[in-house]
Amino acid sequence: MDKNYYQDEDFTEFEEFEELEELEEYEESEYEDEDEEEAWKRSHRSEDKPAKSHRGRKLAVVIFILLVGAFTGIVYGFKLEDVRIIGNKTYSEDEVKALMNFPENMPNTLLCYLKYFRYKTEDVPFLEKIQVKVENRNMICIEVFETNIIGCLRQGRSYCYFDDNGIIQEILSDPKDTVAVIEGISLENMEIEQKISIENETTYKGIIELCQLLIDHNIKAQKIEIDKNGKFTVYINDNIRVGFGTPVLLEEKAVEMANILPELQSMVETEQIKGILHLENYDSTKNSIVFTKEN
């Protein structure tokens, strides 16, 4: 066998050996670099721990100071000084406060609001809801939403107060001087939260409409009398009454009554007159309106 062949093979093996040594040296240097990098990270982590701990304590102190400041501002900056009540007609301000169990000396506006802002009126006659609002940092506003009571039906010794839907809201033994009392109607099954039961639908609708018109035109009436023929008479006071007749053209009649009443009331005061304003035959002309004196 040729000698040169062995020499080339040995030379190749030698080169491979050198490459292997270089690879091992590279890997060892890489491991050494990784060890140094890990050691550097560990050293810096240990150095960061005191700094982070110090920053955490500072942050906690700042948060505590802010909380104390906020609490102090709420206590001293929102001192309740005034309570305003609006929307109440049936109940006085003292009665509204009593219904809510509102304390005489509520120290803080925000605490008062948080306690009452979801106040619910349950089984309280004439009240739909009560809403509490913060007017400013020293004032609370209590807004009362009352049921729209438009009339009262008298049945014997009982007085049934009903709303604009004809639903009885309260039954009393003594009348309140708030709405007109209706006489001449016989009722059945008078119960709170029940609709007033009147057989004649025309009469029923006439009662609801006329009572609402009196309120809309700000006309204070003592009573409304309905005779057996379904004719309406409105008693303004002991001296003036208005004959409406059957419940037709009620809105037009109410407008005329509202326009004429101030003059009639002035005549009552100066001339001591007494009589009835006839609107039974109203036909949109002034000639159909007559006032008859009775003294």
Q: Does residue 156 share a domain with residue 114? A: no
Distances 225 to 166, 185, 266 between C-alpha atoms, Å: 18, 9, 24
Whether residue 288 is found in the same domain as residue 159:
yes
Instruction: Specify whether 222 is located in the same domain as 286.
Output: yes
pLDDT of residue 27 exceeding 60, the answer is no
The answer to whether residues 134 and 165 belong to one domain is no
Do 139 and 154 share a domain, yes or no?
no
Chain-wide mean pLDDT for the chain?
78
DSSP H/E element including 131: strand 127-136
Domain tally, the chain = 3
Which DSSP string corresponds to 183-211?
A: ES---SS--TTSB---S-HHHHHHHHHHH
Cα distance between residue 157 and residue 174, in whole Å: 8
Specify the pLDDT at position 26: 47
Q: Average pLDDT in the 136-154 region?
A: 87
> What's the CATH code of the domain at 168?
3.40.50.11690
226 burial level (CB within 10 Å; 0-12, 13-18, 19+): buried
Task: Kindly report, residue by residue over 37-53, the tens digit of the pLDDT.
Answer: 565 555 555 555 555 56
Element (H, E) at 19: helix 3-77
289/158 same-domain check: yes
Looking at the structure, do residues 230 and 251 belong to the same domain, yes or no?
A: yes
pLDDT above 50 for 262:
yes
Whether 181 and 250 share a structural domain:
yes
CA distance 166 to 203: 12
